[in-house]
């Protein structure tokens, strides 16, 4: 079956999900991101790879990290960046998403970065746009958040370079999490031998083990001897009715505290995609502690997003 994310030569055309992308492309994105890290150290933090191109940020759902780092990344590549304020756009007057896109194409947009609460929104736009236009999924419903998955892999690789020798635990609301799906596909594609998910039954998709993960309902067993702990936010906005007794009860059982983290390897690292709910899924002493790499994740997100946009536009890396 044709992969809509790749062109006929196997090059990245859109980035819609990690599922279906070959290991070679994932590694190419990670290696390209590596070459962009140094751009942030320059006096003029810019390379000309997207000069003359226009990147449109279409965020139909709230965001702090993704929206801002996409904007910074595009500007560091010298693109012109338009961040449409959806609340004050003609969407509020009933314009369809495809009419909005068509109007931006008429203004010579070259790339769309799309976040939407509906799964499949970025695919829908990608199917609609002409060949020379690229679409990046910045998070769609509970389906996929590929650049988050990639920046998480980049962060892990920075601290634990031998991915083939890692035990990774993903903890929390896997059921509603696009981040968890992207992380699982990325970890298994890149050859991480043991991926665990730790969650109450109510917060796990049915047949999650078919994705190649080991399922745990008990934090103590699940965290034992892991190298990497990836925490997830409780996605209350996607829950239909009460799926948990209370957030205090959840924290007692599944919240990451220093005591629970001590079951992991002593040099284990802790990730969280943000936004964090302190005292719900993670204790502040862990979030701000020596094993946390939560803020480096954000910084690396700029290099990953630069890499994706540069590859879509046919560029090579940060040497320019
Ligand atoms: N991790 C993440 O997607 O954060 P934002 O919702 O702030 O973009």
* pTM greater than 0.85: yes
Assess whether 118 and 222 both reside in one domain.
no
Assess whether 259 and 232 both reside in one domain.
yes
- For residue 127, the CA-to-ligand 1 centroid distance in Å is 25
Assess whether 288 and 150 both reside in one domain.
yes
Domain of 64, in residue numbers: 23-145+301-312
The pLDDT tens digits along the chain (320 residues) read: 578 899 999 999 999 999 999 999 999 999 999 999 999 999 999 999 999 999 999 999 999 999 999 999 999 999 999 999 887 788 778 899 999 999 999 999 999 999 999 999 999 999 999 999 999 999 999 999 999 999 999 999 999 999 999 999 999 999 999 999 999 999 999 999 999 999 999 999 999 999 999 999 999 999 999 999 999 999 877 776 667 778 899 999 999 999 999 999 999 999 999 999 999 999 999 999 999 999 999 999 999 999 999 999 985 555 55
Asked, for residue 16, whether it belongs to a domain, the answer is: no
Assess whether 166 and 291 both reside in one domain.
yes
Assess whether 213 and 269 both reside in one domain.
yes
Kindly report the CATH number assigned to the domain that includes residue 83: 3.40.50.1370
Ligand 1 binding pocket mutation candidate from 273, 277, 294, 297 (most atoms within 8 A of CB): 273
- For residue 139, the CA-to-ligand 1 centroid distance in Å is 8
Assess whether 130 and 151 both reside in one domain.
no
Examine the residue annotation and report whether 278 is marked as an active-site residue of this protein. no
Q: Of 188, 181, 184, 148, nearest to 164 (Cα)? A: 188
Q: Whose CA is nearest to atom 6 of ligand 1?
A: 63
- For residue 63, the CA-to-ligand 1 centroid distance in Å is 5
Q: Which residues line ligand 1 (CB under 6 A)?
A: 63-67, 139, 148, 273-275
Number of domains, the chain: 2
Asked, for residue 320, whether it belongs to a domain, the answer is: no
Examine the residue annotation and report whether 65 is marked as an active-site residue of this protein. yes
Asked, for residue 18, whether it belongs to a domain, the answer is: no
Assess whether 81 and 48 both reside in one domain.
yes
Ligand 1 binding pocket mutation candidate from 65, 140, 301 (most atoms within 8 A of CB): 65
Asked, for residue 198, whether it belongs to a domain, the answer is: yes
């Amino acid at each position: 079956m044709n992969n809509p994310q790749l062109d006929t030569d196997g090059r990245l055309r859109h980035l819609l999900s990690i599922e279906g992308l070959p290991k070679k492309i994932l590694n190419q994105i990670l290696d390209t991101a590596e070459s962009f890290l140094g751009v942030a150290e320059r006096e003029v933090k810019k390379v000309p790879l997207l000069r003359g191109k226009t990147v449109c940020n279409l965020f139909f759902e709230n965001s702090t990290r993704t929206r801002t780092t996409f904007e910074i990344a595009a500007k560091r590549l010298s693109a012109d960046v338009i961040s449409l304020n959806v609340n004050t756009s003609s969407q509020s007057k009933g314009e369809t998403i495809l009419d909005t896109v068509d109007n931006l194409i008429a203004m010579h947009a070259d790339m769309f970065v799309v976040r939407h609460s509906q799964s499949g929104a970025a695919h829908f736009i990608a199917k609609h746009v002409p060949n020379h236009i690229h679409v990046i999924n910045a998070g769609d419903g509970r389906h996929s958040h590929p650049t988050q998955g990639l920046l998480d892999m980049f962060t892990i690789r920075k601290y634990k370079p031998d991915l083939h020798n890692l035990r990774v635990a993903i903890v929390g609301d896997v059921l509603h999490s696009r981040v968890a799906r992207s992380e699982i596909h990325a970890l298994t594609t890149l050859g991480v031998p043991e991926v665990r998910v730790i969650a109450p039954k109510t917060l796990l998709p049915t047949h999650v083990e078919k994705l190649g993960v080991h399922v745990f309902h008990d934090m103590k067993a699940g965290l034992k001897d892991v190298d990497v702990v990836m925490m997830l936010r409780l996605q209350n906005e996607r829950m239909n009715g009460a799926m948990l007794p209370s957030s205090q009860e959840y924290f007692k059982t599944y919240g990451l505290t220093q005591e629970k983290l001590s079951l992991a390897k002593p040099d284990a690292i802790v990730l969280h995609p943000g936004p964090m709910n302190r005292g719900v899924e993670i204790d502040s002493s862990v979030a701000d502690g020596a094993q946390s790499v939560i803020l480096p994740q954000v910084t690396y997100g700029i290099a990953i997003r630069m890499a994706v946009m540069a590859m879509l536009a046919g560029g090579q890396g940060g040497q320019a």
